[in-house]
Structure 1
């Protein structure tokens, strides 16, 4: 039997690293399973071994924040002035003038299509009756984005100018982008108090990292010859930076501006959870709570309209574009001013527009009729997915297979038979030279029988450390083990497993269906032309809005949260799979064709292996998206760390909010490092 590729002498073979790691995890899992009844601490971390980290963090932060609270409140009052000015300016500016100015800006940036986008998009906002709320949201974005741009630009330039800070800054940006959005709000609420300023500051903090990353990336990519020319010209370092390097990196920096705008818009919508101020995010939340799904959908579409306009216009600024006739721009502005002046006294109140109110009412009536007629089918879909999919994965076959759901009761004899079949399958694979696959089969069956939420902590730590060792070596394995130990010691491990279960199930579904869709789009250009605008739309929609359609049909519950996570996280898997498969070098495809390979053989043996690093990066993005959405999904009934963060926000419990947010960030960081490690290994194997 050949179990590996490393020789051990005298005709024996040493198991490959992957085989050894899998066997170690299998042995630890078997030991926990056999010894668990006699040694309960092997299965469940004893309460006596936990430390009151949540209380310590809460006390330390309250002491620290209490010391700087007067300064923070003063800063908050300072920010209130520009926000009030922006709010007042947008509130008093007549709506024809706002629409005309945005239309003119669209023409200047992208010609007639962009001008039409601005006019139609804001026309929809006006017809929805949410103009006032939308302007309040836009005022928050208008103040928070400049703060985020300045902060992100400063961080990016600092990291570029001081190479020793580059590594720590990258780690800081990773942490800032993996910490859940709600976790930002808890300490800020204590520090700055209640009100829209908290949303403004949270938005600026959340939107700064993408700007910083793109500034640093753009400055790093400036051609060395351009830098040398700037040095030879005799300019000072500041002149080289601001007159040569930053303009040369302008395209990449504008990409950062685009991402910054979208992040800021997403965050101010989320900040409505602690707001209660009259903005569009609060309208979505309020109508969802009242089960007014027609109005909720309408308010959500207003957010989408803003997101699409901001995304398309800011993205156009980052790309090369044709110069437009400025006379048309001036004409559109003059037309807007003329219409406003001519009808100044008779302009209808934008809050009184109810053109789309009948549509919202029709949606509610149609939804009521649909659910009444198809309620049994919807319940069957939800219950089927829960009873036969999610619940067994969560608590295991032993607890999930019951008489009233499956028609029979799971027994210990069935568990023994399942393990015996898994062991037999593992041995067959091992004798066929696939020992790693055999061990993984037994491990997967053990996880399914036990349930993710009931996994023993030594098994989880060993499994994560083994994956880290295979991905990047001993250093990452040690870091992963220590990070997971912090979650164990804090007493948040059971909640972390619940988060891992739901996000893992969503990621698996996204990998399966997103990969399949990406494959179809790679094979069929027509399919990609149809799928691309859908992907663009899904990536533009703020997280909050994904909750509305699933609530409309499946109400509050874990299945609704699962669908919302899948809808948000599936796009990277589609895009990266398709991109990886269509990027295979032409010479490799020609060689496969010359050897007589069929289209399927070429896809399986040439394109798929070459695309593996790119697909793994898509999987990485999908995992991070799933964790980000997991916290938002706490609004509709998830358990785990996301629920803890949401409860901490409502109770102003800084300790719990920070601890649970840190635990969620740890899980996301571990997943990120693991997938990136495997992607890098595949690149090295392909010589890339």
Structure 2
């Protein structure tokens, strides 16, 4: 085992060989801080409960400052709102006026031109399902929002990407802003927009454009960076101006990467439009899902959610095919498909212009609603047992600690101080055992985790959390990262949102841990079994195309509201990156390393444990990084099913139009996500250096 793995330095002399690694020092400082806080708890209770008098009124400051600014620009924004409202009304009129046979034919024809029979069939079946569902009008209203927001997002993102490429001094600032936008919860965008534009679909349209612009900007920057230097030099030698070089040579050369950005922009816009239905009150498919969920109409809610999924799959597959495949099929067949749609429209004119009269799936809605109701009645006890078991024996101990969660009516006995002492003693013995075998960091981390589990995440003393974040940063990336992590946590501490931040940290943390274990295991299985990957891959593809809002439907149906349904929804959304990156890292191990291990007599298990997993660690850590960001993104959406923490504050701020609370809570959540992101990236970079990559 290498020196970094066992917590010892890389030196060769006796003194150097015993030098503790940064990770070991960080763990020791964390343990010492926790021990001091526990010893001083009877004399300094403020170490565990940050005094409210010490908190700064950041929520009020932000509310006052932004309130003044928003009021100042509101007249200008109302003009913008009117213009966008007009564009949206026109788009809405167009989508609802075009007879459905022609629109279905247009989608099918486009699918043929892009990808042949397979894409054409996808378009025909997908749009046919939307029609048969009875939600055609609501779906067209959703498409009208997407049709206006996507061009706006493409323009904003493309412009920012080109500027960042042309002005190197701007690129760093642009990357930072996009990182922040990626981590700021989506609902936080809606609060100030609500004050500027009022309730209605325009808020969703603008929020959708803001949310969907960063993916486009990132891919434009990446595409222009990857243009071959020979191509750039040839453009310069041809004597073209800089604008000619950019728009005639470089952007066309970056077309594939830019089209990937268009795909991501489309998906982000669709997801955000669905989320914006929470405040829009617009009769689109997102509002239909929300309305049926509130009425506990399980069948209609599930069917409306399936319509959103179908939209997402059709848009994703066709746009991604445009980005990755250059072959295009004949337009004559596409024209023939459109002509067939026109003929059907003329033959069925009355019905073709009244899609609301089509109720093919009404019996299916009723049957589905009744079937789900019967299932819930028959299995309600089992579902409640699963929910309560997960809460009492899993989530609650992590949240408030064993000393608070172990009670006679849950565990059958009362946790006592003696049990705490025994628990700590056992953890210390096991930790010392690991240290004795050379696993210094592992032994110290075991003791820390035992202390966290006994105390509970939301009950941890604030000096412990702040110093632990800084210590992990120092271990991952040195003094600079330590300072960043410590300062971010300190800002959250003095903002008055510390308790809610710990609640968010707890729920996202247990979800990420579950995704890491389960997703890593599935990724490992897919790496060793191509058949397993053939089964898992389409499931991952589907999960990645489903808008966040839809994940709430199944968990709400079966488990109602509460932390456990929110936990499941977060896991369903965040597990995919862990699966994909784990498998990718394991299968991309260089052949020469595998051949060397096999020739030395390594078994399959040894090959995986000693070669593939160590080499794949940087890639797996990147998957963990994405899982963390996905978990924080879903945390606010999960507030709709009754979670507490920063997500609940953001959702409440949205309902109360409280800009200060919404922005402060969103910023606090973004800080948590940024700290986690930088720490994981630091460990990934350190591992890449250790591997010589």
TM bucket normalised to smaller = over 0.9
What TM-score do you get using the length of structure 1 for normalisation?
0.98
For residue 584 of structure 2, what is the aligned residue in structure 1? 579
Which stretch of structure 1 is more off in the superposition, 135-144 or 8-17? Answer: 8-17
SS in 1 for 2:350: coil
Is the contact made by 1:188 and 1:198 (CA closer than 8 Å) also made in structure 2? yes
Once the two structures are TM-superposed, the CA of residue 517 in structure 1 deviates from its matched residue by 0.5
Is the contact made by 1:2 and 1:431 (CA closer than 8 Å) also made in structure 2? no
For residue 173 of structure 2, what is the aligned residue in structure 1? 168
Is the contact made by 1:110 and 1:321 (CA closer than 8 Å) also made in structure 2? no
SS in 2 for 1:404: coil
Once the two structures are TM-superposed, the CA of residue 326 in structure 1 deviates from its matched residue by 1.8
1:420 aligns with 2:420: no
Cα pair distance change 1:137/1:2, threshold 3 Å: closer
Q: Hey, what's the Cα distance between the residues in 2 that align with 1:100 and 1:395?
A: 57
Q: Hey, what's the Cα distance between the residues in 2 that align with 1:494 and 1:401?
A: 22
Q: Hey, what's the Cα distance between the residues in 2 that align with 1:326 and 1:205?
A: 35
Aligned mate of 1:278, from 254, 266, 283? 283
Aligned mate of 1:268, from 249, 273, 286? 273
Aligned mate of 1:592, from 576, 593, 597? 597
* 1:487-502 equivalent positions in 2, closer than 5 A: 487-502=492-507
* 1:156-555 equivalent positions in 2, closer than 5 A: 156-347=161-352, 349-555=354-560
Is the contact made by 1:6 and 1:16 (CA closer than 8 Å) also made in structure 2? no
For residue 568 of structure 2, what is the aligned residue in structure 1? 563
Q: Hey, what's the Cα distance between the residues in 1 that align with 2:388 and 2:584?
A: 36
1:648 aligns with 2:653: yes
Once the two structures are TM-superposed, the CA of residue 265 in structure 1 deviates from its matched residue by 0.2
Is the contact made by 1:3 and 1:430 (CA closer than 8 Å) also made in structure 2? no
1:14 aligns with 2:19: yes
Aligned mate of 2:114, from 109, 116, 126? 109
Is the contact made by 1:203 and 1:264 (CA closer than 8 Å) also made in structure 2? yes
Q: Hey, what's the Cα distance between the residues in 1 that align with 2:492 and 2:585?
A: 36
Is the contact made by 1:395 and 1:451 (CA closer than 8 Å) also made in structure 2? yes
Is the contact made by 2:457 and 2:502 (CA closer than 8 Å) also made in structure 1? yes
Q: Hey, what's the Cα distance between the residues in 1 that align with 2:522 and 2:16?
A: 46
What TM-score do you get using the length of structure 2 for normalisation?
0.98
Q: Deviations over 1:97-142 (max 9, x none)?
A: 1001100000000001100111100100001110000000000000
Which stretch of structure 1 is more off in the superposition, 118-127 or 351-360? Answer: 351-360
Cα pair distance change 1:615/1:104, threshold 3 Å: same
Is the contact made by 2:10 and 2:16 (CA closer than 8 Å) also made in structure 1? no
Aligned mate of 2:619, from 607, 614, 618? 614
Once the two structures are TM-superposed, the CA of residue 12 in structure 1 deviates from its matched residue by 7.8
Q: Deviations over 1:136-193 (max 9, x none)?
A: 0000000000000000000000100000111111000001111000000000000111
Cα pair distance change 1:10/1:497, threshold 3 Å: closer
Q: How many residues align?
A: 688
Cα pair distance change 1:451/1:2, threshold 3 Å: closer
Is the contact made by 1:5 and 1:13 (CA closer than 8 Å) also made in structure 2? no
Q: Hey, what's the Cα distance between the residues in 2 that align with 1:389 and 1:345?
A: 58
Q: Hey, what's the Cα distance between the residues in 1 that align with 2:118 and 2:289?
A: 29
Which stretch of structure 1 is more off in the superposition, 196-205 or 339-348? Answer: 339-348
Q: Hey, what's the Cα distance between the residues in 2 that align with 1:122 and 1:301?
A: 12
SS in 2 for 1:184: helix
* 1:34-113 equivalent positions in 2, closer than 5 A: 34-113=39-118
Cα pair distance change 1:346/1:289, threshold 3 Å: closer
Aligned mate of 2:629, from 621, 624, 627? 624
Which stretch of structure 1 is more off in the superposition, 439-448 or 477-486? Answer: 477-486
Which stretch of structure 1 is more off in the superposition, 617-626 or 3-12? Answer: 3-12
Once the two structures are TM-superposed, the CA of residue 350 in structure 1 deviates from its matched residue by 1.1
Cα pair distance change 1:7/1:320, threshold 3 Å: same
Cα pair distance change 1:6/1:464, threshold 3 Å: farther
Once the two structures are TM-superposed, the CA of residue 624 in structure 1 deviates from its matched residue by 0.5
Cα pair distance change 1:576/1:11, threshold 3 Å: closer
Once the two structures are TM-superposed, the CA of residue 323 in structure 1 deviates from its matched residue by 2.9
Q: Hey, what's the Cα distance between the residues in 2 that align with 1:560 and 1:307?
A: 23
Which stretch of structure 1 is more off in the superposition, 40-49 or 123-132? Answer: 40-49
Q: Hey, what's the Cα distance between the residues in 2 that align with 1:33 and 1:504?
A: 23
Once the two structures are TM-superposed, the CA of residue 58 in structure 1 deviates from its matched residue by 0.4
Once the two structures are TM-superposed, the CA of residue 360 in structure 1 deviates from its matched residue by 1.8
Which stretch of structure 1 is more off in the superposition, 525-534 or 373-382? Answer: 373-382
Aligned mate of 2:150, from 145, 148, 166? 145
Is the contact made by 2:275 and 2:549 (CA closer than 8 Å) also made in structure 1? yes
Q: Hey, what's the Cα distance between the residues in 1 that align with 2:14 and 2:532?
A: 54
Which stretch of structure 1 is more off in the superposition, 238-247 or 433-442? Answer: 433-442
SS in 1 for 2:56: coil
Is the contact made by 1:5 and 1:15 (CA closer than 8 Å) also made in structure 2? no
Q: Deviations over 1:325-361 (max 9, x none)?
A: 2211111111111221232234362112221122222
Q: Deviations over 1:561-614 (max 9, x none)?
A: 000000000011111111111001111111111011111110100100111011
Once the two structures are TM-superposed, the CA of residue 7 in structure 1 deviates from its matched residue by 7.2
SS in 1 for 2:18: strand
SS in 1 for 2:217: helix
Once the two structures are TM-superposed, the CA of residue 677 in structure 1 deviates from its matched residue by 1.0
Q: Hey, what's the Cα distance between the residues in 1 that align with 2:164 and 2:340?
A: 47
